Chain A
């Protein structure tokens, strides 16, 4: 098994405009996703939703600036850390991850154990 990070990139406006209903249904969808990871033979190691990019602070060469590292339409809004057999397995799981206003990126975690 190997570890993969699922990065959720979405247009934040979707949740602002959608109001509490959209927020609630997204919460339910993520709850369901957490169950599906195990059903698919993977393992959920962790994950979090992030506060919107309006709360982000960036640091480049010790210079602190307001805002996210890169201004893009679809911003990093949350992540999951999962365990999967290989990339195909990770992608099969990541396809189930809710991201109605964008999409997800799958990145293998670098093995630093040095074994």
Chain B
């Protein structure tokens, strides 16, 4: 737990460097007479990022309603601004915030007995252990507050909610992002996102989606849904769907923080480790994915000496653990593939036969046309572009990847390598029509110009 937090902190400082510095300078200037104000604000921002899910999850147990819990937690953060300036930042900010939010929730329920009667008890009685108290009143002070973050995550990712609602709720309730921030991340108008979040919360309460971790029988499917949501957060950040920058660092880091937390809370789940490994190994290449001018760099063009060695090392160790003990899942296999790339000394020296084997296993574990496309690309590296093109032709007939920009892009690349520049140009143009990201569009346009030169 401590180790995970320290790592998370280091990563956060890296990415938020200039912004955080500017914010601190601004607040210091604004409150020169109150030297502690900037520190308090920084402590609150830190507690927001690290403790939000814990505080909300623990408060939901008392409030019995996610909406009320959220309101109480927001109030607690506001109260902290004043209290911490007067009394100093507490030793354990998370516990202070939790106690304050839970007290507020209890006050609200006491004031409104009818509300309490009306709210269904969505919280399953937890096995009462040492330091745990169902009423949540005795654990103030140094008592142990049960960690309910898993309940919160599984509730947000319940299969009765649409995938986009699961993603929005996870960002809002587990990561503590505002509706404005979530709307910006997914390029959706704010009222649309607000309506999506409200509707999902209403369904949780009206349909009585229970606030609990699923039992053993349902766990594999339900966990897969959670990991899919986290992976979606990461991939949305990894290649922003539109806009000028290729990567949205905030989403990428939230996703990694979240899967780290899941790893701590579910240490025996191999797929959770697999996902953390996958994200670390992919993210290790982040700095080298675009050139200084924003141009997209392919794996073969990237400066491998600039890859994050610590992240690769941590990811590779996690892969080994995730593959051990039975048939590996899809995240562990994807991580193993990422590890082969990350550990290759150069692009030509990549262990393509091993990759082909791993893609075969992945396709069996997860029969997705996207996996089949990636396997076709690796097949071309092992057995030549013609073999890859044959597989891609099958996928085109299959039709499920219609509108997927990487299909014509992969096809174009193989056609270029096999010496058919005119056909390659047609395929690159199809890919360009489907791409919205500026860096990807620039890359495809450059390739079209290149093959035109060769065709002419």
- A115 with B209: in contact, given A87-B160, A91-B160 (CB under 8 Å)? no
Q: B208: nearest residue on chain A (CB-CB)?
A: A86
A87 contacts B207, C-beta separation under 8 Å: yes
- A2 with B160: in contact, given A87-B208, A108-B208 (CB under 8 Å)? no
The distance in angstroms between the C-alpha atoms of A91 and B206, with both chains bound, is 15
Number of residue pairs spanning A and B whose beta carbons lie under 8 angstroms apart: 28
Neighbouring B residues of A86 by C-beta, 8 Å: 120, 122, 208-210
Neighbouring A residues of B32 by C-beta, 8 Å: none
User: Does A88 lie at the interface of the complex (its beta carbon under 8 Å from any beta carbon of B)?
Assistant: yes
Neighbouring A residues of B120 by C-beta, 8 Å: 2, 86
A108 contacts B117, C-beta separation under 8 Å: no
The distance in angstroms between the C-alpha atoms of A60 and B150, with both chains bound, is 47
A: interface residue count bin: 10 to 19
0/1 per residue, B304-340, Cβ < 8 Å to A?
0000000000000000000000000000000000000
User: Does B118 lie at the interface of the complex (its beta carbon under 8 Å from any beta carbon of A)?
Assistant: yes
0/1 per residue, A79-113, Cβ < 8 Å to B?
00000011110010000000000000010101100
B118 contacts A108, C-beta separation under 8 Å: no
The distance in angstroms between the C-alpha atoms of A111 and B117, with both chains bound, is 12
A115 contacts B208, C-beta separation under 8 Å: no
B117 contacts A2, C-beta separation under 8 Å: no
B: interface residue count bin: 10 to 19
Interface residue SS majority, chain B = loop
Give the residue of B117, B206, B210 whose beta carbon is less than 8 angstroms from that of A88.
B210
Give the residue of B118, B158, B206 whose beta carbon is less than 8 angstroms from that of A115.
B118
Interface hits, B213-227 → A, CB 8 Å: 214, 218
User: Does B6 lie at the interface of the complex (its beta carbon under 8 Å from any beta carbon of A)?
Assistant: no
The distance in angstroms between the C-alpha atoms of A111 and B381, with both chains bound, is 62
Neighbouring B residues of A87 by C-beta, 8 Å: 158, 160, 207-210
User: Does B92 lie at the interface of the complex (its beta carbon under 8 Å from any beta carbon of A)?
Assistant: no
- Nearest chain B CB to A6 CB, angstrom units: 13
Neighbouring A residues of B207 by C-beta, 8 Å: 87, 106, 108
The distance in angstroms between the C-alpha atoms of A106 and B207, with both chains bound, is 9
B206 contacts A108, C-beta separation under 8 Å: yes
The distance in angstroms between the C-alpha atoms of A88 and B204, with both chains bound, is 11
Q: B211: nearest residue on chain A (CB-CB)?
A: A86
0/1 per residue, B107-139, Cβ < 8 Å to A?
000000010011010100000000000000000
22 A-B pairs whose Cβ atoms sit less than 8 Å apart in the complex:
A2-B120, A2-B208, A85-B210, A86-B120, A86-B122, A86-B208, A86-B210, A87-B158, A87-B160, A87-B207, A87-B209, A88-B209, A88-B214, A88-B218, A91-B160, A106-B207, A108-B208, A110-B206, A111-B118, A115-B114, A115-B117, A115-B118
Closest 7 CB pairs of A and B: A86-B210, A86-B208, A108-B207, A87-B207, A87-B209, A87-B208, A2-B208
Excluding A88-B210, A111-B118, 15 further A-B contacts by CB distance (< 8 Å) are A2-B208, A85-B210, A86-B120, A86-B208, A86-B210, A87-B158, A87-B208, A87-B210, A88-B209, A88-B214, A108-B208, A110-B206, A115-B114, A115-B117, A115-B118
